[in-house]
Every structure is written in structure tokens, then in C-alpha cells.
Amino acid sequence: MVTYEFNRESRLLTPGQFQTVFSKPLRFGSNHITVLITPNPEKTNRLGLAIAKKRVKLAVQRNRIKRQIRESFRLNQHNLPGIDMVIMVKSGTDKLDNQEIRRQLEKIWRKIIQRHK
């Protein structure tokens, strides 16, 4: 079933949920973006964002990156295999424009899907 929804069930909310992902992750990444994933026992996809203030200084840029990631996750989640993930970014990501961020994310989604076939 194809869904484009993104509500609170689709997000990691508590420190405990983040910890389970950090404890035993599989790593995927591109030049600027790192994704840590763990299988979700309930077979739904959940997204958590960890955009450090140290990496992206301005609040406006952090918000822009988060929204781009959420948007891309929202449009591609029906292809993903039921995982919890935490996305982190590296310095310099704030220099990328929206299209470039989106291209990098789509590459990562393809990698994850291939790995879980």
C-alpha cells in the first residue's frame, strides 16, 4: 500500500528509541549524509534526525535540511523494508541546495533497498 503520510508514529521520539538505533547500527552514507539503521520489530519505518549545531551553525539551515530529509523520507517510505533510522549530517551540508540533498538521499534509499532484498 502506498502512503505519503508522515505523523508521529513515523518518528523517533524518546532518547530510548534513539539509543536502540545507536547501539547496533548498519551504516550507509554519502559525502555529506550518514544513515544508521536497525530493523523495526513492528515492520514500520521510523525516522530520527540528529543535526548537530556544531555541524550546521544556523537554525535556518538546520530546519531546511531537516525538512528536505523528511520530505524525501515521506515520498520514499513505501519502498523501505521496515527499519528505524537516524540520519546525521557532516559539516558543509548547509552549502548544498535542495536538489543536491535530495539526489544524495535517493541514492542512499536505493542502497538500503538492495541490501534488504
Name the residue nearer to RNA (CB basis): 4 or 116.
4
Name the residue nearer to RNA (CB basis): 42 or 114.
42
Binding site for RNA (CB under 7 A): 3-8, 11-15, 18, 48-50, 58-60, 63-64, 66-68, 71, 74-75, 86, 98-99
Question: Quick check: 102 and 29 in contact, CB under 8 A?
Answer: no
CA angle, 117 then 71 then 27, to 5°: 45
Closest-CA residue to 86 (of 37, 15, 29): 37
Name the residue nearer to RNA (CB basis): 13 or 113.
13
C-alpha dist (Å) from residue 68 to 5, 90, 94, 105: 15, 15, 12, 9
What minimum distance in Å lies between the beta carbon of 110 and RNA?
Answer: 19
Name the residue nearer to RNA (CB basis): 63 or 79.
63
What minimum distance in Å lies between the beta carbon of 103 and RNA?
Answer: 12
Query: Whole-angstrom Cα distance, residue 21 to residue 37?
Result: 6
What minimum distance in Å lies between the beta carbon of 117 and RNA?
Answer: 26
